[in-house]
Amino acid sequence: MSTNKQKFNRKYGFKLDEPHSKKEISKITGVSMGILDQVYDRGLGARKSNPQSVRSASTGKKVGGGSLKGKMSGPQWAMARVYSFVVGGKTQKTADADLWAKHLKNKSRRKKSTS
């Protein structure tokens, strides 16, 4: 099973394990930094408010319990959410659907202004 980061890297021709900053992801995908910052911040908040859904740092699998010990760090969890958002993962259609709609609206405005 591929991670969203691997899906992103495959789609854009990078090595599967190559990391990217939000700025690079924004430039590559056309999603604004403002929207990616909001997705990232929501990821940080979700990790704190729902620790039982956070995956193990070593296996990448969900580990039960409310403790965050041995689980992905906040920044890891938040970047995973950013990758999910830009490759069409679950967060794009659920928790961050409002931000995806905002991105599409901004994108259509840019097209109209360049036409």
**pLDDT per residue over 67-101, tens digit each?**
666 677 889 989 999 999 999 999 999 999 999 99
**pLDDT per residue over 17-76, tens digit each?**
999 999 999 999 999 999 999 999 999 988 888 767 766 666 666 666 666 666 778 899
Residue corresponding to tokens 């296996």: 59
Distance CA 39, CA 59 (A): 24
Distance CA 25, CA 87 (A): 11
Please report the pLDDT score of residue 53 as a whole number: 72
Distances (CA, A) of 28 to 2, 4, 53, 57, 58: 20, 15, 29, 27, 29
